[in-house]
Amino acid sequence: MRIAQVAPYFYPHVGGVESHVLTLSGRLLRNGHEVTVFTSKHADLREKDLFQGINIIRSKQVANIFSTPITPSLKKTLAKEDFDVVHAHTPPPLTSYYAAKACKKKKIPFVVTYHCDLELPRITGKIATAIYQRTLGRYTFNHADRIVVHTRTYGATSRTIWNSEVAIVPSAVNPIRFKEAVDFSDITARHRLEGKRMVLFVGRLVYHKGVDYLIDSAKLTPEDVRFIIVGSGDYLGKLKKRAREKNVEDKVIFTGNVSFNDIPKYFAACDIFVLPSISRLEAFGLVVLEAMASGKPVIVSTIPGVMELVTDDINGLHTEPMNSEDLANKINYLLSNPVIRKVMGENGRKKVENEYTWDKVVREIEEIYGGVIQK
């Protein structure tokens, strides 16, 4: 098949959607398909490029509002090509709308993966979101031959796609990359973690991740526990200030961004992984799968999507969002029960191997492509 993947941003831009599209494109290419990614042009990137065998075509941004690239030329550029299927990814919005318009003009089968709801700051952002959903967003989904969401609970609770028939296809990880038997001695030495128990967070430091509540919970855990915060973002300064105000500076370690090769080491080094998200912007949580693949118990907030990855008391625990005391209780419970941690970690690893591998996900996506092409 000749497949077009359409994404607001793509490599070298870093993010969950970008990572998903990159891996999906690479796996489709490996299966013998021809893949081209259409995306926005930013910085000094070339309009036409090639990365890991994937053709990349970038459209110039005429503006960028609320981190949304406005690239109307993408519609014309995409319509010049002939594809068997076009697969768009949203949000950010608009890019998928341009793809929908091009597909309608060319009569090409159109698939959309809805990664999460729009949620913009300030009243102006809420107004802009509402207007988009009732106009261009509605057009996009009404003209999609198939809408894909990562989890059943998220699809069932999203107002944007309430009246749509959706296919449930999760994201995935490579279990070979993440495993418990990884040498993490350099991580232990780097952060002086000898003899310490370790609670890990990995992700962008933005408000909806709920890391401030994780920092608050540190006050309620034993003195030998260290909270390792991997990542960077706009909230970093506020989070460091929060740690000082809560007098847990010695217990909370901010690593900043770490290398691709070091990420599995941090998962292998930790005793527990926590994703304390508080918003629908967290629709899946790929890092949860990475922790599970590493054989670690996970604690996640009871919000749609994320909580579906964790079966409470089987491969981890659910915690009430924005409740640092409940989170601390769950952390202390797992730290006090190494046997339970081990069993939960093993269960999580098995769940990843059975449900969240790229081989399985790509087969399901290929079936969707085949179905819309035959319509």
Q: Are residues 205 and 303 in the same domain?
A: yes
Distances (CA, A) of 1 to 21, 231, 263: 17, 37, 34
In a domain, 180, yes or no: no
Q: Are residues 259 and 220 in the same domain?
A: yes
Measured distance CA(149)–CA(308) in Å, rounded: 13
Q: Are residues 207 and 64 in the same domain?
A: no
In a domain, 259, yes or no: yes
User: Shortest CA distance to 115 belongs to which of 8, 25, 35?
Assistant: 8
Q: Are residues 85 and 208 in the same domain?
A: no
Domain count, the chain: 2
CB atoms within 10 A of CB 270: 25
Q: Are residues 288 and 321 in the same domain?
A: yes
Q: Are residues 36 and 161 in the same domain?
A: yes
In a domain, 295, yes or no: yes
Please indicate whether residue 359 or residue 133 has the higher confidence score (pLDDT).
359
What residue has token string 């042009």?
41
Q: Model-level pTM? A: 0.89
Q: Which amino acid is at 36?
A: T
Q: Are residues 306 and 201 in the same domain?
A: yes
Q: Residue 125: is its pLDDT beyond 70?
A: no
Q: Residue 121: is its pLDDT beyond 70?
A: no
Residue 31: the pLDDT is: 96
Q: Are residues 291 and 166 in the same domain?
A: no
Do 12 and 41 form a contact (C-beta atoms < 8 A)? no
Q: Are residues 230 and 305 in the same domain?
A: yes
In a domain, 130, yes or no: yes
Phi, psi angles (nearest 5°) of residue 351? -65, -40
For residue 318, the enclosing domain spans 185-355
Measured distance CA(206)–CA(11) in Å, rounded: 21
* CATH for 241: 3.40.50.2000
Say which DSSP state 111 is in: E
Q: Are residues 110 and 226 in the same domain?
A: no
The per-residue pLDDT for range 93-117, each reduced to its tens digit, is: 899 999 999 999 999 999 999 998 8
In a domain, 179, yes or no: no
The per-residue pLDDT for range 307-361, each reduced to its tens digit, is: 999 999 999 999 999 999 999 999 999 999 999 999 999 999 999 999 999 999 9
Do 277 and 285 form a contact (C-beta atoms < 8 A)? yes
Residue 240: its H or E element: helix 236-245
In a domain, 177, yes or no: no
Residue 228: the pLDDT is: 98
